[in-house]
Amino acid sequence: MATALITGGTSGIGAAFARALAARGNDLVLVARNRERLEQTAAELADRYAVSVEVLPADLSVRADVLRVVERLTDPDQPIDLLINNAGFGIHTKLTAADLSAHEHAMTVMCGAVLLLGGAAGRVMAERGHGQIINVSSTAGFVLLGNYSAIKAWVTAYSESLAVELAGTGVTVTALLPGWVRTEFHERADLKTSKIPGPLWLDADRVVEECLVDVARGRAVSLPSKRYKLLIFFARHLPRRAIAVISARISSGRR
């Protein structure tokens, strides 16, 4: 029976991954900051799907906590078969703000922790000759929405680079690039979403199902839904000046 470790596994896309994998009979290790919520989620999943669910409280902005997760990932007696780097949050602070600590915090969680956890998982999985890594990125990496776009562009490029490095080892790496997904993510980031057209919203469970199909096929990038595949095709081919104009309009509608 396979075991998956999921960061940010108690809400949003992380919780959707937890449900989907538990339904397939996978044991889970859930990582998040809130112990009470972790234990509640673990109990619900274990009761509903009859799988083992371990909880690992950790703040991924704290290096010591990240290293505890690395230690769990590399435990030879309790191997992890699938790592899902999902922990993340929106950023509402301007790049020119006097206090840039929010950006530093975001980069620590969504870049630094991904780098450490992905590297550790890739190393031990390659030694075993099998494993899967999913890094949750975003279609925001193709537009210009402040540091969040920069971070997610990094996550996608990192994932593809790690996939190249691990080619032939039996380990696959997939970057998941969702668009707007109906979760509590936007509310936490204090982002207004009323002007986002209805057809652009995706369901978290559907996003996860499409991603797992792509992972099984060994794809380095998973871009759920035909509508976003089309939108990102244009984003990749439009002049950067046009992308800047579109990004400015999106940003103004979220304030």
Q: Which residue has the tokens 């620590």?
A: 108
**Strand ranges across the sheet with 82-85:** 53-57, 27-32, 3-7, 82-85, 131-136, 171-176, 221-222
What mean pLDDT is predicted for residues 236-248? 90
* Burial environment of residue 95 by CB neighbours within 10 A (0 to 12, 13 to 18, 19 or more): exposed
Give the CATH number, domain containing residue 131: 3.40.50.720
pTM: 0.92
- Count of alpha carbons within 13 angstroms of residue 229, beta-carbon side: 8
| Gap between the Cα atoms of 225 and 210, Å rounded | 8
Q: What is the pLDDT of residues 42-72, one digit of tens each?
A: 999 999 999 999 999 999 999 999 999 999 9
Instruction: Return the exposure string of 54-67: e unless at least 16 CB atoms fall within 10 Å of the residue's CB, then b.
Output: bbbbbbbbeeebbe
Instruction: Return the exposure string of 191-211: e unless at least 16 CB atoms fall within 10 Å of the residue's CB, then b.
Output: beeeebeeeeebebeebbebb
pLDDT tops 60 at residue 88: yes
Angle between helices 12-23 and 204-216 (to 10 degrees): 60
Tell me the pLDDT band of 189, cut-offs 50, 70 and 90: very low
Which CA distances in Å does 101 have to 32, 114, 155, 156, 195?
Answer: 21, 19, 20, 23, 29
Q: How far is CA 177 from the centre of its chain?
A: 8
Q: What does residue 155 show for φ and ψ, rounded to 5 degrees?
A: -60, -40
Q: What is the pLDDT of residues 11-28, one digit of tens each?
A: 999 999 999 999 999 999
- Whole-number pLDDT of residue 109: 98
Q: What mean pLDDT is reported for the chain?
A: 93
Is residue 14 within 8 A of residue 86, CB to CB? The reply is yes
Is residue 21 within 8 A of residue 82, CB to CB? The reply is yes
Closest CA to 115 of 164, 175, 53, 159: 159
The total of structural domains in the chain comes to 1
Q: Which DSSP letter does residue 110 get?
A: I
pLDDT tops 90 at residue 204: yes
Task: Cite the active site residues.
Answer: 148
Helix (H) / strand (E) containing 157: helix 146-165
| Gap between the Cα atoms of 169 and 62, Å rounded | 31
* Burial environment of residue 169 by CB neighbours within 10 A (0 to 12, 13 to 18, 19 or more): middle
DSSP secondary structure, 13-68, as one string:
HHHHHHHHHHHTT-EEEEEES-HHHHHHHHHHHHHHH---EEEEE--TTSHHHHHH
Domain that holds residue 229: 3-253
Q: What is the pLDDT of residues 141-161, one digit of tens each?
A: 999 999 999 999 999 999 999
Tell me the pLDDT band of 169, cut-offs 50, 70 and 90: very high
